[in-house]
Structures are given as C-alpha cells and as structure tokens.
Amino acid sequence: MPRRSAAAAASLERQAPVFSALGDSTRLRLVARLAGSEPQSITHLTEGTGITRQGVTKHLRVLSDAGIVRPARKGRETLWHLERESLEAARRSLERISALWDETLDRLKKYVEE
C-alpha cells in the first residue's frame, strides 16, 4: 500500500475535525451565513438564529477549533470570517471519492451490459 509522507499525513490530520464540526445544522447555518458575507460580529451572527449569544459563541469555538472560521479584532469588536481553504479541502476530498464511484459504476455497467 502506498505510504504518505509523514508531513502529508500531518497536514491531512490537521484538517480532520472539519467534517465533524460541520455535522451540525446550526453550525452549517453559521458557515453558510459567513460564506455569503463580509466578516461578522457575534451580535450579527446571533440575529434570527433563535439561539442565545452564548450558544452561537460555543458553536463558533467548535468551528474555530476545526479551522473553519477565525476571529479577527476590529477596534473593540471581534469579527468572524470563514477559512475557505478548510472547506475547499473537504470539497476536494469528496470529489476524489466521487471519481472513485464513477470508476466503480463503470465496472458495474460493463458487468450488467455484457
């Protein structure tokens, strides 16, 4: 079996929590919200979510630990923005699996059509 280099493995493992962090509908909504906008404050992000500011803060922390969002100070405010690279990595990994399914289903096609 091919072995990845240690550096490659370490780099991938850094991204590992991305998927579990996204496996929550509130967090997905926060990410979607940040995806379509400029960096936003917690006050702004809490509006219309139906959950408390503390709740939003907790979710942002999970996303931040996974490297999906990042806080930045702006004056007295903390603004949150999206780390697009993490989401890109998640998307690319899915594309690879998708390509493997294409190949597998090609074999099925040959098998049933022969």
User: Which residues lie near other proteins (CB under 8 A)?
Assistant: 1-2, 4, 7-9, 11-13, 15-20, 22-23, 28, 31-32, 35-36, 85, 87-105, 107-113
Return the number of the residue (76 or 107) whose C-beta is nearest other proteins. 107
Return the number of the residue (32 or 51) whose C-beta is nearest other proteins. 32
**CA torsion through residues 47, 53, 55, 61, sign:** positive
**Helix intervals (H) in the chain:** 6-15, 18-22, 25-35, 42-46, 53-65, 84-113
Return the number of the residue (9 or 51) whose C-beta is nearest other proteins. 9
Return the number of the residue (13 or 75) whose C-beta is nearest other proteins. 13
Q: Check: CB of residue 51 under 8 Å from CB of residue 11.
A: no
Helix or strand or coil: residue 5? coil
